[in-house]
Amino acid sequence: MQEILKKSAMEQFKALKNKEVSALELTKASLERINDVDEKLGAFNSVTDTIALETAKKVDEKITAGEELPLLAGVPLALKDNMNLVGSKTTASSKILENFVSPYNATVTEKLLNNLIPIVGKANLDEFAMGSSNENSAFKKVHNPWNLNKVPGGSSGGSAASVAACESALALGSDTGGSIRLPASFCGIVGMKPTYGKVSRYGLIAFASSLDQIGPFSRTVEDSAALLEVISGHDPHDSTSLKLPVENYRKSLNDDIKGKKVGVVKELVAEGLAPDVDKAIQQAIETYKSLGAEVMEVSLPNIKHSIGIYYILATAECSSNLARFDGVKYGHRTKDANNLLDMYCKTRAEGFGPEVKRRIMLGTYALSSGYYDAYYKKAQQMRRIVTEDFLKAFSQVDVLIAPTCPNTAFDLGSKTEDPLAMYLTDIATIGANLAGIPAMSIPAGFDSSGMPIGLQIMAPQLAEAKMFNFAYKFEQSHDFYKHIANI
């Protein structure tokens, strides 16, 4: 039964429809796999077996009754532990929410349950989604399934590792500055961030509200396209949600890209790339040429400022968003306080980890009187300029390509003492969040030590279908997606 876990989500869905396997058998196999490998992987904060098995039973009842199954029904999925699921702990991998039980479902969770997708567990992450390596979790580190001594990428490292290790066929993550695409790259799977507003953020624990976006992890492009269909759509609970119909992203996957234009981002393939990553990007360029696409160099002159812009805007928003965790209504409260102010201070000192504290302090400083114009306002102006660079680039080409990360997965602990080196890991991914455009990482090969390399594809706002098309054509030209981590 474990062999079916190596199949893609759509293959598992077809096997269910053809009665080759029952949803209960498939979900139990997924839960057994988690039980077998997660002690050394650390991908899950909690396992929601009761919820998953109840959902699987409903799928089997539909199959028995001869009813049509909703898309991806019965296919096991891991939910990042910053999205609410009634009856489960939602911790954001922080001590301050260690015992918080969700009183309501996130909109994406509601959509998953409506489609009868079994949620097998809550996936580990960097605390409050702040980090690039998944070493900032208050509970345990996540390990990379390809090499347990390496990081899986962050902040959605648990979600990515669970898919790469075949614990689940699908997962949801959140992407604020690359937190889906970076782990997808490091773990050798597909991860995509939709256009800002395409997927509701209601029920997602906020980090930086103007940047956060929920998106899918999977082993194939088709699976990601299918899962995006399930979770996207307008939501009146989210004021930034776009009033647009849900598209069928799978129908145009195999469209011809002959004569279409691919832009290679000059600034992201310059110096600083690991040799194996550079080689993989050059091979990707040749692949697109062989598919008939016209490949040209494109400049995003202000992308080099994206890290600075991001770490002002994201920390400012996190400073505001995390003010609610004060020990009053929910979450951790210190047992040792003399008065209200003392309770606030001690609760937050005990509850937040060092990276979260660092970002709250940076953000509070950037928003403080006398510094607001110099930092926050200037960063917003620069964000607009970066967005205009993308608009100009997309007036010349259909999609942009670049490495997802300048390097492959690094050793656990190797960058924890150097926050700046850690922040620079996101140099290629942050621009898409600032501009609100869709972007994804797909497997593009392996380095000399066998670690996966990711190719990033970016498209104009709301052009997910086009992006999936270019990703699918590349994927089908190679067998990288067929390789599975041996854990």
For the chain, the first-to-last Cα distance in angstroms comes to: 17
Q: Is residue 155 flagged as an active site residue?
A: yes
For the stretch 430-465, what's the b/e string if a residue is b when 16 or more beta carbons lie within 10 angstroms of its beta carbon?
Answer: bbbbbbbbbbbbbbbbbbeeebbbbbbbbbbbbbbb
Which residue among 80, 111, 193, 415 is the active-site one?
Answer: 80
Q: Is residue 239 flagged as an active site residue?
A: no
Cβ pair 463, 438 in contact under 8 A = yes
User: In 322-463, which ranges are continuous DSSP H helix?
Assistant: 340-351, 354-367, 378-394, 419-423, 430-435
Distance CA 75, CA 15 (A): 10
Count other Cβ atoms within 10 Å, centred on residue 35.
12
**Residue 184 three-state SS:** helix
In terms of Cβ atoms closer than 10 Å to its own Cβ (0-12, 13-18, 19+), residue 420 is exposed
Q: Concatenated DSSP letters for 219-268?
A: SSHHHHHHHHHHHBS--TT-TT----PPP-GGGGTT---TT-EEEEEGGG
Distance CA 204, CA 208 (A): 11
Residues 6 or more apart whose Cβ sits within 8 Å of residue 141: 42, 134, 135, 412
Which residue among 30, 132, 155, 232 is the active-site one?
Answer: 155
Q: Is residue 6 flagged as an active site residue?
A: no
Distance CA 173, CA 184 (A): 10
Which residue among 30, 159, 179, 319 is the active-site one?
Answer: 179
The residues annotated as belonging to the active site are 80, 155, 179
